[in-house]
Structure 1
Amino acid sequence: MSLTSIDSKGGKATALYGVWIKSRKTLGKTDKSPTVIAMHGCGGLYSIVRDGKGEFTPRHLAMARVLSDAGYNVLFPDSFTPRGRRSTCQDSAAQRETSALNRRHDVQAALRWVSTQNDVDMSRVALLGWSHGASTVLAAMNLAETDVAVRKVQPRAAVAFYPNCQPYAKEGSPFKPAAPLLILMGENDDWTPPAACEAMEKRMEGSDTEVALRLYPDTYHDFDAPGLPVHVRMDIQGAGKPRDGVTSGANPEAREQAYRSMLNFLQAKLQ
């Protein structure tokens, strides 16, 4: 499928594409299914590209199976390949033209596209993202952004795996989520440390929109990536302590718990 987004820098239209996976069963009394728009992280959507075709990373493949088996359509927009990039993990913040704030326009485009599909129940749409994509979800849910506030279609829920909450952690930072938000991350995450998300959750206490944070002990960034050994990366600019790098790797037990929390949350908010 293809969709058109707008780049913040200069307002240039970008023809995006993505992967559309239909639900494997029907939830509810109609043939229309709830739908999740899933935003990839800084490593991109694919683990390898052959003959112009991308193969999903194990993380995206696992999520596609879990959600489609549970009765959700899933749209994976590709923010990078149409812009000539495979990954931006090693870029500095200044080099990242495809920022989280910019990618919120990709979410807008994705929402417009799913609204044209006959088998989508637009009253039951959620956002999901990982790391850079999770930060994109926060930006795309923030009603303090005018283009988000005036959007005709608003998601009913959002799930963010280990986002960077720093822009919204301080008192006075404008952040008003459009729908309930669930954040899932490791206590030991040194790439996007959970302290900022804890501060954001605390400042949102008493608001009219739920923000829930789940932290998993002995768990690092990318904990839900199947088969990824725990390792230290020294190539991530602007993250972690100088000369220490950042830690990334799977925790199967935490992934199982996070998937369960995610499915329970989506069922409660979308069914």
Structure 2
Amino acid sequence: MDTLSQRWARLEPHTTMTGPDDDRPRPAVLLFHGCGGLRGHLPKYAEVAKQAGWRAFIVDSYGPRGWSRQFAMATVCTGLLLRGDDRAGDILAALHGISQRPDVDASKIALAGWSHGGWGIMEAMSADRSRSALGLADPGNVSLDGVIATYLAYPYVGVAAFNRMRPWRHCPKTLAVIARSDHLTSVRNAERVHAMIRDCGTELETWIADGSHSFDEPMTAPPMRYDERLSDEALRRFGALLHDVAVAPAA
């Protein structure tokens, strides 16, 4: 079982940073891909963060494991490997490592996850970290106090997400995106989960986007379909969330 430092040592070479070209401590957003792996939409969100004066870190969970997109589609997307609680270990390890960078303001960090990545964030927010959990020997050795926002893009809250109704233990401001035509969950189920999170004290805004799962990913694989207009709106709302929670130093 990895420690936080060991897991981060594996993830760090597969993490890409985008941000202003300076060494000032800046707010940071950590971006976690869906079960299909790194795709073309995440750099767009990273660029929005950069324009807001934030640093953005795109964390690849598959590179350190030697997994191809095809392998992940056949195993992770089907629930055979790396379920949400396992992915939460990557999220905590990345938070642990990135918080220690001198060019990051560890008191102003946002976590953003798409589908499977959102599932992992929800597990990280709700898990009992007082003991070994989430595939880590020391999950409680990273503080969540600096996490001031989460962005959940059509997070997986289907039947395999056994802990989806477990109350969060840390409650940052959250923007939760629901895809109206999501084939993995109904709007009613997603709203029920998000209402539970809101009842825990989280300031949570829900946006029901009139599209399919992965509507902001530039590809079409029915029943998922790219929608440029909704993608632009998602980018705008993502940027607005960052502006709402922290004022970054001028570039």
User: Which letter maps to 2:201?
Assistant: D
What is the TM-score of this pair, normalised by structure 1?
0.74
Q: C-alpha separation between the residues in 2 aligned to 1:86 and 1:43?
A: 9
User: Which letter maps to 2:48?
Assistant: V
| Alpha-carbon distance change, 262 to 163 in structure 1, aligned in 2, over 3 angstroms | same
Unaligned runs of 5+ in 1: 7-13, 46-56, 233-246
SS of the aligned residue for 2:109 comes to strand
SS of the aligned residue for 1:15 comes to helix
> In 2, are the aligned partners of 1:224 and 1:254 still within 8 Å (CA)?
yes
User: Which letter maps to 2:227?
Assistant: N
Cross-structure match for 2:61: 79
Unaligned runs of 5+ in 2: 132-138
Larger helix fraction of residues: 2
**1:162 counterpart (122, 129, 154):** 154
Residue 15 in 1 paired to residue 10 in 2? yes
| Alpha-carbon distance change, 113 to 204 in structure 1, aligned in 2, over 3 angstroms | closer
Larger strand fraction of residues: 1
SS of the aligned residue for 2:89 comes to helix
| Alpha-carbon distance change, 204 to 82 in structure 1, aligned in 2, over 3 angstroms | closer
Higher RCO, 1 or 2 (CA under 8 Å, sep at least 6)? 2
| Alpha-carbon distance change, 18 to 195 in structure 1, aligned in 2, over 3 angstroms | farther
Cross-structure match for 2:235: 259
> In 1, are the aligned partners of 2:216 and 2:228 still within 8 Å (CA)?
yes
Cross-structure match for 1:67: 49
Cross-structure match for 2:135: none
Question: CA offsets, 1:38-85, max 9 Å, x none?
Answer: 11111112xxxxxxxxxxx32122222222222111112221121121
Count of residue pairs brought into register by the alignment = 228
Q: C-alpha separation between the residues in 2 aligned to 1:78 and 1:176?
A: 26
Cross-structure match for 1:101: 85
| Alpha-carbon distance change, 158 to 94 in structure 1, aligned in 2, over 3 angstroms | closer
SS of the aligned residue for 1:4 comes to helix
**Structure with max Cα Rg:** 1
**1:202 counterpart (189, 195, 201):** 195
> In 2, are the aligned partners of 1:34 and 1:120 still within 8 Å (CA)?
yes
Q: C-alpha separation between the residues in 2 aligned to 1:82 and 1:132?
A: 17
> In 2, are the aligned partners of 1:168 and 1:175 still within 8 Å (CA)?
no
Residue 141 in 1 paired to residue 122 in 2? no
User: Which letter maps to 2:237?
Assistant: S
